[in-house]
Amino acid sequence: MSAGLNLNTLFRKGILLAVGNPAIESAVDKYGMQLGAARFVAGENIDEAIVNLKRLEDEGFKTNTTLLGEGIADEAEAMAVVGEYIYILDRLHAAGLKTNLSVKLTHLGLDLGEEVAYRNVERIVEHAATLGAFVRIDMEESARVDVTILIYRNLRTSGHDNVGTVLQSYLYRTERDMKMLMEYQPDLRIVKGAYLEPAEIAYPDKREVDVAYLRAVKYSLAHGGYTAVATHDDRIIDYVIEFTTRNDISQDRFEFQMLYGIRTDLQRDLLSRGYKVLIATPFGPDWYPYLMRRMAERPANLLFVARQMLPGA
Ligand SMILES: Cc1cc2nc3c(=O)[nH]c(=O)nc-3n(C[C@H](O)[C@H](O)[C@H](O)COP(=O)(O)OP(=O)(O)OC[C@H]3O[C@@H](n4cnc5c(N)ncnc54)[C@H](O)[C@@H]3O)c2cc1C
């Protein structure tokens, strides 16, 4: 392992550990939006988000959005989040946007029990279906993977087809999960994984995560319904383009997905070459953990935020 890789791994761990520190959270919360969070978050409310979503759709991108938040442990609060998502769906529809949703089960009350989360996500999925919208269930920490997959399967067996989920290539178990999910011909987003996981369950070496990522994408493209290749990694994207071209896999079987504000050059390049590109465009006042995960992925993001503090920057 190179010194650079070691430093990056340490940096990532340090930042992800800081997510739980209340002092850091309150400092970042107070100044973060002015200091650069706006580069990664499309606004603090739905009106601001709609302006950005419209701009992206006008450019030709597909979009999804998320009301940022996670770890809700109060039933009334979780129900309020459901109400907000119903309102968001209505507002997106009224604005003529084709934006999908991407939701986190812990934002919908997963910590209160599987039944609460199922009931809440089902309400959103049902409402989305009446508007022709799609809902993806994000994947969170490894402790939530079993229940997330279970809820996804239960939704599908109950006849909800406008729903998809996510698998993370850093987890050893992902290959098994993917095979098991294939019977649903799922709409699967494949990511590397954004949380801090121990070596007992996740590849500690980034190169192995990348290799596992390609394996997962190839498997999904060869067997699955629809594959969302969610990465900013040029080499992986080039490989997927070469693989799909060589195997005659048509563009209605896959799309690329990237995060709002990250590698916008690559996003535009793929779009101009005729590929479908979805920009995941989150918004909301509770952007702190999301921003910290983006910092952890790339030390330069911390420098970007730090530079905003310089006069005239
Ligand atoms: C649409 C989408 C949805 C996601 N959903 C989930 C989810 O549900 N669960 C989950 O665990 N993770 C999710 N992630 C995050 C994912 O797991 C990775 O942490 C993240 O995408 C960074 O990995 P990478 O594949 O881009 O590759 P990396 O190998 O980390 O990066 C490759 C290159 O991409 C660029 N890059 C990557 N990250 C950044 C960044 N933050 N800022 C600037 N440049 C960057 C750099 O040029 C870097 O060299 C999602 C990612 C995307 C794109």
Per-residue pLDDT of the chain (313 residues; tens, 9 = 90+): 444 455 566 666 666 666 667 766 666 666 666 556 788 999 989 999 999 999 999 999 999 999 998 889 899 999 999 999 999 999 999 999 999 999 999 999 999 999 999 999 999 999 999 999 999 999 999 999 999 999 999 999 999 999 999 999 999 999 999 999 999 999 999 999 999 999 999 999 999 999 999 999 999 999 978 999 999 999 999 999 999 999 999 999 999 999 999 999 999 999 999 999 999 999 998 888 888 788 788 767 766 666 654 544 3
CB contact set of 102 (below 8 Å; sequence gap of 6+): 64, 65, 66, 135, 136, 137, 138, 280, 282
Choose, from 12, 136, 144, 189, the residue flagged as catalytic.
189
Cα(222) to ligand 1 centroid in Å equals 23
Work out which ligand 1 atom sits closest to the CA atom of 297: 41
102, β-bridge pairs: 136
Cα 103 to its chain centre, rounded Å, is: 9
The one-character DSSP state at 60 is: T
The DSSP output letter for 143 is G
Q: What pLDDT is attached to residue 4?
A: 45
For the beta carbon of residue 303, count every other beta carbon within 10 angstroms: 10
Q: What is residue 266's DSSP assignment?
A: H
Q: pTM for the complete prediction?
A: 0.91
189 annotated active-site: yes
* CATH C-level class of 41-286: alpha beta
Q: Indicate whether residue 216 lines ligand 1 (CB < 6 A).
A: no
pLDDT at position 23: 67
Q: Is 96 left (phi over 0), alpha (psi -120 to 50) or beta?
A: left
> For 167-190, b where at least 16 C-beta lie within 10 A, e where not — what string?
bbbbbebbeebbeebbebebbbbb
Does ligand 1 come within 6 angstroms of the Cβ of 258?
yes
Does residue 226 contact residue 276 with C-beta atoms inside 8 Å? no
- The contacts of residue 8 (CB under 8 Å, 6+ apart) are 206, 299
Among candidate residues 136, 138, 144, 156, the one labeled active-site is 138
Among 16, 165, 298, 305, residue to substitute to test ligand 1 (most atoms within 8 Å of Cβ): 298
Residue with CA closest to ligand 1 atom 41: 294
**Spatial distance between the Cα atoms of 221 and 88, rounded to a whole number of angstroms:** 32
Q: What pLDDT is stored for residue 291 in this prediction?
A: 82
- The reported pLDDT for the residue numbered 312 is 41
